[in-house]
A and B are shown apart, each in its own frame.
Chain A
Amino acid sequence: MSSTLDRLVMMANQIGRFFTPQRGGDAVAGIADHLEKFWDPRMKENIVAHWRAGGAGLDGPVREAIGRLKEAKRGAPLEAGR
């Protein structure tokens, strides 16, 4: 793996592959909840930025879940220097 972003995309898809077959049929909610609860703000910011840029490499439910993150809903990158 070459970059942090590549790693984040891969990790997000791994999370997606766990939640997709779970009972209840709302994998997207499970993925989004996991990202909210376990990813640091800069990781979320990076993946949201990538999603905004087209989200290459992200699986379908993962893409949808990222759209539900607080960072995505804010519509703008986090303020610098958090």
Chain B
Amino acid sequence: MSLVHETDYGTPVSKSSEMVTLTIDGQPVTVPAGTSIMRAAMDIGTKVPKLCATDSVDAFGSCRLCLVEIQGRPGTPASCTTPVGAGMVVSTQTERLKQIRKGVMELYISDHPLDCLTCAANGDCELQDMAGAVGLRDVRYGYDGENHTKQEKDESNPYFTFDPSKCIVCSRCVRACEEVQGTFALTIQGRGFDSKVSAGMAEPFVDSECVSCGACVQACPTATLSEKSLIEIGQPEHSVVTTCAYCGVGCSFKAEMRGEELVRMVPYKDGKANRGHSCVKGRFAWGYANHRERILAPMIRETIDQPWREVTWEVAINRVASEFKRLQAKHGRLAIGGITSSRCTNEETYLVQKLVRGGFGNNNVDTCARVCHSPTGYGLRTAFGTSAGTQDFDSVEHTDVVLIIGANPTDAHPVFASRMKKRLRQGAKLIVIDPRRIDMVRMPHIEAQYHLPLRPGTNAAMLNAIAHVIVTEGLVNEKFVRDYCDLDAFEYWASFVAEPQNSPETVGLMTGVSAESIRGAARLYASGRNSAIYYGLGVTEHSQGTTAVMALANLAMATGNLGREGVGVNPLRGQNNVQGSCDMGSFPHELSGYRHISDDATRTMFEKLWGRPLDAEPGLRIPNMFDAAIDGTFKGIYVQGEDILQSDPNTKHVQAALAAMECVVVQDLFLNETANYAHIFLPGSTFLEKDGTFTNAERRINRVRKVMTPKNGMADWEITLAIAKAMGFEMPYSHPSEVMDEIARLTPTFAGVSFDLLDKVGSVQWPCNEKAPLGTPVMHIGGFARGKGNFMITEYVPTDEKVGPRFPLLLTTGRILSQYNVGAQTRRTDNVVWHEEDVLEIHPHDAEERGVRDGDWVKLDSRAGGTTLRARITDRVAPGVVYTTFHHPNTQANVVTTDFSDWATNCPEYKVTAVQVSPSNGPSEWQREYNEQAEHSRRIAKVAAE
């Protein structure tokens, strides 16, 4: 193995279709018009010396090292800023150029510490490389003049250091922050010799607007910005390309290693989802893999008030099998089930559902997508025929109007948000529909044309009002509708949305948004050449989540914004493999590829291959499992990589359900909250310790590659196989690639997928089959998967969760950039520097009415339960609305959320809870009791293995 080296072409690729031929150092080269001479030279393998240029940012032309001579032109232009011209004759190496470059390097080195041997970048320093490239042998100026070599390091960021003594002020970091990340946190402070890279207003990095995405560190050509892990460990000796295990963007990274020690994660330029960018989580927050709280040995106990006992894998697996068999013998075949994880690989989720269907003999399998994007699957399938988003991420580069509803991309999908921001800075227009003023509404160089801060729970009404404007103002794309949609369905829908109750004037009263804004936003969306919808859990996690997804599909169809680049309906999936876990047949009613379990032909195909009869009846969904457990008909559960106690709504109800079961098996990295109610704990493996695939929000199947031996002894897929074997259901695979081969055999949309193909081409987007051997970036080109696009009636039905005198405010929840969902991973990293506890955002007016000051403890009560947390007073939320995150078990925000759920899928209505906020003096009685129980439950008594 060796390090994966990526070519730096110096300047970004030109997308021009016009080609230009020129001669460089006597060799002809043909490149797209607009390409820089530097890049054209690199195309033929000629590395023009450079320092301020790198292909992730636009050319800058400051270092004066990349000069070339062009026949017939005076001077020595910079090759990075000079575009190619037809017939141009370029020399990259002449006596004159050599002298100039040597002189420039002498100046750089005269103000640079000569500590190469002890420098973290030794062996990977562009300044060092360029000194070699230009043949620098001495520095005529000496080193005694005024210099910057004594400047102090900024070590405030937990993950990287800034050492200004090594800075050559090439501005690559500043430009990466602007152009790649779009945060504009860095600048060059001072002029001339005093020029210095500065974070924010000359603040320490950690206190500035810096979001720690790592783009600056990656762009730095010296050791000025270096990962602390690199400084501590040293240069990596090999690297493996793999996929991030955080959000649904699915960034590709090079895991750079020394032996089995991870030195750093570096975003992979060829990664088609992230194009070489990263965020603070994927880039830096992987320390949880070695956290002291990680459990590495299997454990069992008879009752949940006993301490855990470590046992061998054999004992633990046999206990799982014997308990599940006992429960089925006593309570019936339907008494047990399993939950697949959207954090695990496709192969692992496929195996869990196979274990449940084939080994348990029922369909009681569900996945955490139940509580996030299940309405997306149902809604988009009904409208278009496919349970997935329509575009690839690259599509946003062609978008003219971006409509974001119920999503907070800069926090939850930051790497894609950066691409979206870039497009907005180029002039695309923006509509944000969100109760909260998310960052995208107004940030450096971006301002939404419309922000519709609607009341939580009124999405369907709002979308119907937008449709009303489109239909009644003649903004329908009639040709598209006529050619690609069910006309009868359209006409029926058009009459419905045109009714007065759907007018902006009426809906404005329900949503709290002015009719004028709704009309303006509707006109903008409908009149954009390419308009694209991006949505998240602020759409799905409602009692009308599915209805709202259908309403979005209606808008896109009515305006013809489907079936080409730049448009579409794009769900921003929450977890890394939400799309994949759904694709793999994790839902209780369907097999892989979204085929209903009652379909005889499909079921027979699986039965033949698996050698087991399958039940034709759908199984229990997660919330139904809880109800059945409390009712006494559901007694045992196998939970792989999911913390249902912290993530599911109405914590007390979940606690009661788990406590009612006789065998709860948790497979996880840590003793999570659910494990407090478990009888068997199976230690899980991290994404660094196994092979497999993840499927991201754009249907892209990416490889996950093992870079180290599982610290727990077994990869997650091997654990599931062991359980199946102990249950008498052999699943003989020796590698996850064989699981994917089976998935491909059984799933038409995956028919062409194999590890071999992925290793060859990097990644593919399903459908990937005979018709599309390299996958399908944009769906529904020239017609919908279901035939004609289907307009559904999306009548607004107000939620049953009502505000009133006791609970006058509406709570909505979400997540923050530095933390990830229940925080099991990110809370065990230095990301806690930015977010160590959940806080409650409350409007100044509501705070004043209640006598609440910023930072005060407040009690947050709903009909379901109460908790306490600190208040943050902000006008990001409208009066009447409060907001919090759910990353910390000490807060347990979900003790407040209710059982109300989406009509079609039971996706919980996390986004609308009627609450009251009142001053408090600290954690509630329930929190104290909860913490005591959790602490008691986590005791481990070390005893000899059975």
Chain A residues with CB under 8 Å of B546's CB are: 18
Neighbouring B residues of A11 by C-beta, 8 Å: 901, 903, 906
Q: What's the nearest-Cβ distance from chain B to residue A57, in Å? A: 13
Q: Give the interface size class of chain B.
A: 35 or more
Q: Point out the residue from B364, B596, B797 that lies within 8 Å of A37, measured CB to CB.
A: B596
Answer whether residue A56 sits at the interface, using C-beta atoms and an 8 A cutoff.
Answer: no
Q: Mark A20-31, 1 if CB is under 8 A from B, else 0.
A: 011100000000
Give bound CA distance, A15 to B792, whole Å: 14
Whether the Cβ atoms of A38 and B793 lie closer than 8 Å is: no
Contact residue among A10, A18, A39, A42 (Cβ-Cβ distance under 8 Å from B800): A10
Q: Please name the residue on chain B nearest to A22 by beta carbon.
A: B793
| Among listed B407-415, B622-630, B635-643, B705-713, interface-contacting one | B622-630
Which of A1, A15, A17, A81 is close to B332, meaning CB atoms less than 8 Å apart? A81
Given A23-B488, A40-B618, A18-B904 contact (CB < 8 Å): yes
From the candidates B547, B620, B631, name the one contacting A18 in the complex (CB within 8 A): B547
B481 to chain A, nearest CB (A): 15
A52 at the binding interface (Cβ < 8 Å): no
B332 close to A82 (CB less than 8 A) = yes
Q: Is B531 an interface residue (CB 8 A)?
A: no
Residues of the A chain whose Cβ atoms lie less than 8 Å from the Cβ of B619: 40
Interface size on A, residues (CB 8 A): 24
CA distance A7 to B901 in the complex (A): 10
- A interface: dominant SS: helix
B457 CB → nearest A CB, Å: 14
B332 lies within 8 A of A23 (CB): no
| Residue B589 at the chain A interface, CB threshold 8 Å | yes
Q: How far is the CB of A33 from chain B (nearest CB, A)?
A: 11
Instruction: Output the least CB separation between A59 and chain B (Å).
Output: 12
Is there contact, CB below 8 Å, between A21 and B795? yes
Structural contact, A17 and B797, CB atoms closer than 8 A: yes
Contact A40 B588 (CB under 8 A): yes
A28: shortest Cβ distance to chain B, in Å?
16
Q: Which residues of B contact A41 (CB under 8 A)?
A: 334, 617
A23, B904: Cβ atoms under 8 Å?
A: no
Cβ of A50 within 8 Å of any chain B Cβ, yes or no, is no
B306 at the interface (CB under 8 A from A): no
Chain B residues within 8 Å of A82, by CB:
332-334
A17 to B799, CA, bound (A): 12
B546, B596, B618 interface centre (most CB from chain A within 10 Å): B618
Binary flags per residue of B621-659, CB closer than 8 Å to A gives 1, else 0: 100100110110100000000000000000000000000
| Least distance between B460 CB and chain A CB atoms (Å) | 10
* A7 touching B332, Cβ below 8 Å: no
Picked from A4, A23, A38, the residue with its CB within 8 Å of the CB of B618 is: A38
- Are B903 and A42 touching (Cβ within 8 A)? no
B530 to chain A, nearest CB (A): 30
Q: B334 touches which one: A15, A36, A42 (CB < 8 A)?
A: A42
Chain A neighbourhood of B797, CB < 8 A? 14, 17-18
| A69-82 Cβ-contact flags toward B at 8 Å (1 or 0) | 00000000000111
CA distance A59 to B493 in the complex (A): 24
Interface residues as binary, B774-803 with A (CB distance below 8 Å gives 1, 0 otherwise) = 000000000000000000110101001000
- Closest A residue to B630 by CB, please name it: A4
The residue on B at minimum CB distance from A34 is: B904
Contact B334–A14 (Cβ < 8 Å): no
Cβ-closest chain B residue relative to A79: B332
How distant is the Cα of A80 from the Cα of B748 in the complex, in angstroms?
Answer: 37
Q: Does A15 contact B793, Cβ atoms closer than 8 Å?
A: no
Whether the Cβ atoms of B364 and A40 lie closer than 8 Å is yes
Among B572-612, those with CB < 8 Å from A are 588-589, 596, 598
Q: Are B793 and A14 in contact (CB under 8 A)?
A: no
Q: Are A38 and B589 in contact (CB under 8 A)?
A: yes
Give, as a whole number of angstroms, the nearest-CB distance from B890 to chain A. Answer: 27
A15 touches B904 (CB 8 A): yes
Residues of chain A lying within 8 A (CB to CB) of residue B620: 40, 42-43
Contact A7 B589 (CB under 8 A): no
Tell whether B108 is near chain A: CB-to-CB under 8 Å: no
Contact B364 A7 (CB under 8 A): no
Q: Is B496 an interface residue (CB 8 A)?
A: yes
Q: Does B543 contact A (CB under 8 A)?
A: yes
- Distance of A81 Cα from B631 Cα, bound (Å): 15
Interface contact B617-A17, CB-CB below 8 Å:
no
Nearest chain B CB to A76 CB, angstrom units: 17
What is the distance, in angstroms, from A21's C-beta to the closest C-beta of chain B?
5
Give the docked Cα–Cα distance between A65 and B304 (Å): 43
Whether the pair A23, B489 counts as a contact (CB closer than 8 A) is yes
Q: How far is the CA of A1 from the CA of B652 in the complex (A)?
A: 13
Interface flags for B490-511 (1: CB within 8 Å of A; 0: not) read 0011001000000000000000
Specify which of A1, A23, A39, A42 is in contact with B899 (CB 8 Å cutoff).
Answer: A1
Q: Which residue of chain B has its CB nearest to the CB of A23?
A: B492
- Contacts A37-B589, A37-B618, A80-B332 given; indicate if A7 touches B899 (C-beta within 8 A): yes
Q: Which residues of B contact A34 (CB under 8 A)?
A: 904
From 460 to 484 in chain B, residues with beta carbon under 8 angstroms from any chain A beta carbon are none
Take A10-B800, A37-B589 as given contacts and tell me if A22 and B364 are in contact as well, using a CB distance cutoff of 8 Å: no
* Contacting pair A43 B624 (CB below 8 A): yes
Known: A21-B496, A22-B793, A81-B333. A4 touches B903 (CB 8 A): no
Chain B residues with CB below 8 A from A39, complex form: 618, 624
CA distance in complex: A14, B460 (Å): 14
In the complex formed, the residue of A with least CB distance to B332 is A81
Residues on B with C-beta less than 8 A from A21 are 496, 793, 795
| Residue in B closest to A40 when the chains form the complex, CB atoms | B620
Which residues of the partner chain A approach B793 to less than 8 Å between Cβ atoms?
A: 21-23
Bound Cα distance A36, B492 (Å): 27
Q: Which residues of B contact A43 (CB under 8 A)?
A: 620, 624
How far, in whole Å, are A11 and B902 apart by their CA atoms in the complex? 9
Of the candidates B598, B617, B792, B795, the one whose C-beta lies within 8 Å of that of A40 is B617
Nearest chain A CB to B786 CB, angstrom units: 16
A23 to B621, CA, bound (A): 28
Q: A23-B492, A41-B334, A42-B633 are in contact. Are A15 and B617 (CB under 8 A)?
A: no
Residues of B with C-beta under 8 A to A15: 903-904
CB distance from A79 to the nearest CB of B (A): 10
A17 to B904, CA, bound (A): 11
In the complex, A81 Cα to B795 Cα: how many Å?
40
Chain B residue at smallest Cβ distance from A39: B618
Residue contact B489 to A14, C-beta cutoff 8 Å:
no
User: How far apart sit A18 and B904, CA to CA, in the bound complex (Å)?
Assistant: 9
Chain A min CB distance to B595 (Å): 12
Chain A residues with Cβ below 8 Å from B543 are 14
- Does the CB pair A4–B792 fall under 8 Å? no
Q: B547 — nearest CB in chain A belongs to which residue? A: A18
Name the A residues within 8 Å of B904 (CB-CB): 15, 18, 34, 38
- Would B631 and A4 count as touching, CB distance under 8 A? yes
Distance of A33 Cα from B630 Cα, bound (Å) = 27
Q: Which residues of B contact A17 (CB under 8 A)?
A: 795, 797, 903
Q: In the complex where A23-B492, A82-B334 touch, is A40 in contact with B624 (Cβ < 8 A)?
A: yes
Q: Chain B, 318-334, contact with A by CB distance < 8 Å: what is the 0/1 string?
A: 00000000000001111
Among B628, B631, B795, B903, the residue within 8 A (CB) of A14 is B903
Q: How far is the CA of A37 from the CA of B797 in the complex (A)?
A: 23
Complex: how many Å from CA A14 to CA B781?
34
Within 8 A of A (CB), among B431-470: none
Give Cα distance in the complex from A17 to B630, angstroms: 28
Could you pull out 30 A-B pairs where Cβ atoms are within 8 angstroms?
A4-B627, A4-B628, A7-B627, A7-B899, A11-B903, A11-B906, A14-B543, A14-B797, A14-B903, A15-B903, A15-B904, A17-B795, A18-B903, A18-B904, A21-B795, A23-B793, A37-B596, A37-B618, A38-B621, A39-B624, A40-B364, A40-B618, A40-B620, A40-B628, A42-B628, A42-B633, A43-B620, A81-B331, A81-B333, A82-B333
Lowest 5 A-B CB distances belong to which pairs? A14-B903, A81-B332, A4-B627, A23-B492, A40-B620
Instruction: Beyond the given A4-B631, A11-B906, A81-B333, please list 5 additional residue pairs across the A-B interface where CB-CB is below 8 A.
Output: A18-B797, A36-B598, A37-B618, A38-B589, A38-B618
